Amino acid sequence: MKKNVMVCVTQQKTCDRLIQYGREFLGNEDGELSIIHVAHYQFKFLGNTKEGEALDYLYEKALEYGASLTVVRSNHILDTLIDQVKKEHVDYVVIGESRESDEESTIPALLSRRLEGRAKLLIIPA
């Protein structure tokens, strides 16, 4: 059975552990590993050296782990992630645990509700 895994990342280099988890979770099973980063329009994008370096890093990690990399500009992060789940027929979504104090309004909590059984959410502790 095919198992498609999508890893949601930020531009932080610490996201390597999420990508590595996604790769290990997929293992040798038939399926695709994809990495997605959704950049909000209010943030500069490739406008400074650090962002460019972060995207280079993500690209290198995608190559290293045999994954596809998708970078999308959107003010609607959750909608974009759900659209990608549908488009790529994703079975599992890997995301890092939020450090925000209000657990109910974090991206992982909101995404979990929005997935509506389309895919299983794997929240990786910080």
Given this model, what pLDDT does residue 12 score? 72
d(CA 85, CA 92): 9
Residue 53 CB: number of other CB atoms within 10 A?
12
CATH number, domain 5-124? 3.40.50.620
β-pairing, 33-39 vs 5-8, is parallel
Q: How confident is the model over 67-102, as pLDDT tens digits?
A: 999 999 899 999 999 999 999 999 999 999 877 666
Q: Is 96 left (phi over 0), alpha (psi -120 to 50) or beta?
A: beta
pLDDT at 29 over 80: yes
